[in-house]
Structure 1
Amino acid sequence: MNRIQLLALLALAYGASCQAAVTLQVTTSVHHEPLKSVTKSPADSKSTLYVTLADDYITAQSDSATTIYDFKNRRRVVLDGASKTYVDYSLFDTAGFRVFEMRNRIGMNAMLAKLNSELKPARKVDLEQELSLAEDSATVIDASTSGDALKFSSGGSPLAQWSKHGAKVGARDAAHFAQLLRYTQSVHPQVLARLAEGGLIPDSLNFTVNTAMGVSTVSVSVEQVRSATPPAYTLQGYTPRQAAPPQGAIEALLDRMAAQTPEQLAALRAAHPCDTEANYRADQLLDTMLGRLECTLSTGAAMLPFTPAQLEQIRASTPVSLAFSATSVSKQEDFAPAAATLSGLRSQAPRKAYVLKLMEANNRARLGQYKECDQLFGEVLEANPVLGGAWKDMGDLMIMRFDTPSAWRSWDIGRRIAPTLPNFAFVNQLEGEIAKRQPEYLVY
């Protein structure tokens, strides 16, 4: 899909209430200077984006795909022009990754500071520049003018500079351009704030990014800045992507469930009803207990209660005791035997063995056995795709792997299935913290 086709696609949703926007071409060149100790570094690169800065969204079209940053709905939609498919992501996943990565880097810095090593902790400002994220405003950024360039540095090290020449635009368009760079480049938040308030889209910008691998110099040129009439974007002519298993089994599972209509979700729920009193089996107590737990994890409703006599039987059940003891371990050396216990109990739960697999997957995740986890989660969600708690736990696994796009996709699916499930309180709280502490990623 070329630029003209993209604009034609967007124009399908044009309405009289639309406000002014800006289109522009952004070309980025990246040069890497690796440290002497680094034997392999990324190749230099050059890419071009055709951009629309609209009233409540940004589109950025490359040769391979078009990304729509939808700030109104807090979504990031990626269109594949060749296959006419799209993938809908959460706008939280980008900020979420950078928050987790910043915390990880700070932890590594603290560890390096304690070691007598040639490796030195990264400077705070360099982390903030690389991740376009700052937890506070304590970093001092110095601004200076040199000829027709505005320069920014910290502690004598260059961070950014841009030309005073370019397209004079309104305050909103300048802020929107800075937001584009926040998502597509590595630029310190304080520098982006200065760019946003400048009333100018510079024709050239340069950024210096210091990493553990070396120094990257980013050169950005901006051309063809034009006023435009921004339509609301549309996905007309596109269908949700369907990844192909088995190579992308989890990805295919995410795609399939993300594409479910409300009617299809209702049909899936009907096909996987909760257990009732009639399902109680005194000779299959583990199976019975797992069935009632499954209902809670699927709907968020309280577990169907047991009678006093049934509770007495449950408490005396060795398989039930073994299963739930295996889910409450906290020491690293206990996760492997607990996972083995859960695997060995499957024969005791002929209907609901996949709920045991969910418990086992959580233990194996803490052992770093991610391949085994993928297999288990795939089997669990093939058996019951509306098991909301499984989508929550699989999202947690993706976070352990720093795959925040897949994590938020999994969490979004789970919250759509079981919005009142208490397990998602962590996700809701995390999004609230990001919105409060990094509002610049969500406010447009």
Structure 2
Amino acid sequence: MQVRLRRGWLGYRETGKDEVLLDFTRRRRLTLDEGAKTYVDESMYADVCFRHFELSNREHLHAVITAGLGDASDFAPVIMEHQLSVLDKARGRTLAEAKATGPGAMLRSLFSGRGKPADILMKSEAGGTAFVTAEGRPLLAYSDDGVRVAPSLGGQFVQFLRHRFHGHPLILERLGSAHRVPRDIQYSAKAMRGSPGSTVTLRLQSDTVVPDSGLPIGGYRRVVRGGPGLPDDATLERVTLGAAPDGASVREQRKREAEASVAAGRMLESVLAFFELKLQTDELMPGLGEAVQAIPDADVRRFREALSRPPNDKATASAMAPGLVALRAAAGRHAHVLKSFEAGARRALGEAPAARQLLLEVIQANPFFTGAYKDLGDLCVADWDMGAAWVCWDAARNIAPRHSLLQDVSGMEAMLAAEHPEYF
């Protein structure tokens, strides 16, 4: 493996694999395809988000196994923090240094200032430092020799370990304070006991000082890769990398469509034109709510009744979904707007595949339908596919970066940055 440490970014390339660049300035992860001269640019938040929520998931597994009187040692909280490289701050995790020898001194070293046994013990070994759990299970060890580096690059090396190999945050913090790259590092307990890859050894083969430089993406073209259950790559690239339709132009187009629908007597179709404007650009036409209430049209009335209560429970969702399906013919060219609402009902009913298919049909009808990308990303989170979620949200942000529907995405990113600032 070749590792490059720079101010603001780092890169690593493993044998037979593409190079990965971590751009901390933009909080992005880039994967370079040298043969095709392309790169994929993804959010760094996706990986941190998975680790953040997976920690709670594994702690739940630990509680269930413990309640069943099973062996939960492989799911011990400190082990999970080590494997995911995230800290459960509520537990007040501690690391103690064993400075003395003998049973009594070792026992005293296990206690922090509050009298609580330390969760991780650091001890000196022949030519190195080792970290073990309070029960004695090895976590990580590194040699005392190695290459001295500037504090900023020492921090970047720890970032490389954190993002690529994980490691308990308290151990990585201690290693980062040494301002060096150890000659040898051994990870233990990276997986359940006996599993392949539970122990990993890193050994520094050579080091070279070269002039600092910017991200090595000159001559590369950015591409977007979605995957199963997402819009095709061509659509994602068009929406994520291209220019989004101008808001004023979209507004005028929707007004023309609504006027044509009114002239033809298709009142529901005209109403949905303005709902599409809202869901795409976040612009609400003045008086839309009053108009929906006042229009004496049976289809508009049924639409109003279907949306009268959010599908927050299965009973409401069960009533909403068939009502929206029945209105598709009357919706005409804006039937996909109904599908965007129906997708929410299907998700509330636990019909995630149906909801996903509806959202894909919405995007096929209007590739710049911001709300559909937002909801599709939410479905991906429910499937624990955080990378796909941010692919969808990146597309939505390029269409309407300040859309109110995206506020909770920004809120999640702010939470992750606050809870795990060491990643950024």
Question: Which residues of 2 match residues 5-404 of structure 1 at below 5 A?
Answer: 49-62=1-14, 63-113=16-66, 115-116=67-68, 118=70, 120=72, 122-136=75-89, 137-139=92-94, 140-155=119-134, 156-209=136-189, 211=191, 214-215=194-195, 216-241=198-223, 249-260=231-242, 262=243, 265-266=244-245, 270=249, 274-276=253-255, 278=259, 281=262, 283-306=265-288, 311-313=293-295, 317-325=300-308, 328-332=310-314, 335=317, 338-404=320-386
Counterparts in 2 of 1:222 and 1:257: CA distance versus 1, 3 Å: farther
User: Following superposition, which runs of at least 4 residues in structure 1 exceed 6 angstroms of deviation?
Assistant: 244-248
Larger RCO: 1 or 2 (CA < 8 Å, sep 6+): 1
Counterpart of 1:228 in 2: which secondary structure? coil
- The alpha carbon displacement at 1:102 in A equals 1.6
CA distance in 2, matches of 1:65, 1:338: 47
Structure 1 residue 292, shift from structure 2 partner: 1.4
CA 1:315–1:162 in structure 2 vs 1: closer, same or farther (change >3 Å)?
A: farther
Identify the range of structure 1 (334-343 vs 372-381) with the bigger mean alpha-carbon deviation. Answer: 334-343
Q: Which moved more, 1:233-242 or 1:385-394?
A: 233-242
* Paired amino acid for 2:379: L
SS at match of 1:176: helix
Q: Is 2:389 aligned against 1:436?
A: no
Flag the structure with higher strand content.
1
Q: State the shift of 1:339 in Å.
A: 3.2
**Mind listing any 5+ residue stretches in structure 1 that lack a counterpart?**
1-48
* Distance (whole Å) between structure 2 residues aligned to residue 213 and residue 329 of structure 1: 45
Q: Which amino acid aligns with 2:268?
A: L
Tell me: CA distance 1:183–1:73, structure 2 relative to 1, closer, same or farther (3 Å). Answer: same
Cα deviation for residue 159 of structure 1 reads 0.7
CA distance 1:194–1:300, shift in 2 (3 Å):
same
Contact 2:370 2:399 in 1 (8 A): yes
Range with bigger deviation, 165-174 or 276-285? 276-285
Deviates more, 1:266-275 or 1:83-92: 266-275
Say if 1:244 and 1:252 are closer, same or farther in 2 by CA, change over 3 A: farther
**In the aligned structure 2, how far is the partner of 1:332 from the partner of 1:109?**
31
Instruction: String of CA shifts for 1:393-421, please: whole Å, max 9, x gaps.
Output: 11111111111112112112212211222
Residue aligned with 1:201, SS: strand
Deviation at 1:346, TM superposition (A): 1.2
Cα deviation per residue 1:312-370 (whole Å; 9 max; x = unaligned)?
A: 22696442134314x71222465455434333321120021111111222333344544
* Alignment CA distance shift 1:235-1:281 (3 Å): same
| Aligned residues of 1:286 and 1:319 also touching (Cα < 8 A) | no
| SS at 1:72 equivalent | coil
Per the TM alignment, residue 177 of structure 1 is displaced from its structure 2 partner at its CA by: 0.6
Distance between the aligned counterparts of 1:246 and 1:101, measured in 2?
22
Q: Deviations over 1:198-230 (max 9, x none)?
A: 122011111112645755111112221111112
Distance in 1 (alpha carbons) for counterparts of 2:209 and 2:19:
20
Native 8 Å contact 2:343 2:358 kept in 1? yes
List runs of 5+ in structure 2 lacking aligned partners: 95-118
SS in 1 for 2:215: coil
CA–CA distance in 1 between the matches of 2:365 and 2:293? 28
Aligned-pair distance for 1:166?
A: 1.3
3-state SS in 2 of match to 1:78: strand
Cα distance in 1 for residues equivalent to 2:229 and 2:338: 25
The alignment of Structure 1 onto Structure 2 pairs a total of residues equal to 389
Residue 89 of structure 1: how far off its partner (Å): 0.5
Seq. identity, %: 28
SS state at 1:406 partner: helix
2 CA distance for matches of 1:368 and 1:213? 36
